Amino acid sequence: MSRHIELFRRFAEYLRSDTFREAARHPECPTAFTRKGGKLPLPSLVAVMVCGMRMSVRAELDQFFAHLRQQAQLIHHVSEQAFAQARAKLSGAAIPKLNDWLIQQVDSVGLISRWHGLRLVAADATNIRFGLRASHVPRAAVTEQNAFALFLPGVEMTLAATLYSIGVGERQMLFEHLDQLKVDDVLLLDRGYQARWLVAALNQAVGCCRFHGHLVKV
């Protein structure tokens, strides 16, 4: 069995496990995702959310269940309201924790790139502008935010990602993600991150950094 097939098997089993269900429940919904035979069980809910939703919720749901049944025609299986209700019962930490678990599994089978035994981690931020649909419901959403991510080159996986207000600087974003790094990491940064206080903080988190072509031992 190839390593990739084994990973998918483990992932599918974990999504159906009691361990993940306990971790995925919102604290205010201790009995969520226990009913069997529902139209949108926890594994399906999470699978829809991690597939990279790019269309309307209605279109994404119809396409997802069509693919699940291996049919070319879209299937209206779950309503947008049912999806919203199920998502409200999901803990905000469920997807990040699932990502952490998956990265551990990927690393355990040797798929994460290493340089002289050190894990490569790239960090960067970008500005994102969101399009909001017209609605009569008052919204607290903003149209512009900054996104920061730690990325694992080679295996092409995101180690961690967070949205910030546009007033937060990239160095502060990185500082708040230092707990995601290990002493056997090589952190890849562009020149905009260089600062004495940040290098001092990195000294406690990683083995070395590469600032836009310059390798720095920290």
Question: From CA 86, how far away is CA 79, in angstroms rounded?
Answer: 11
Question: What is this structure's pTM?
Answer: 0.80
For residue range 151-210, list pLDDT tens digits in order: 999 999 999 999 999 999 999 999 999 999 988 888 888 878 878 888 788 877 765 666
For residue 121, the cross-strand partners are 187
Domains of the chain, first to last: 3-94 (no CATH), 112-205 (3.30.420.10)
For residue range 109-133, list pLDDT tens digits in order: 989 988 888 899 999 999 998 776 6
Question: From CA 41, how far away is CA 45, in angstroms rounded?
Answer: 6
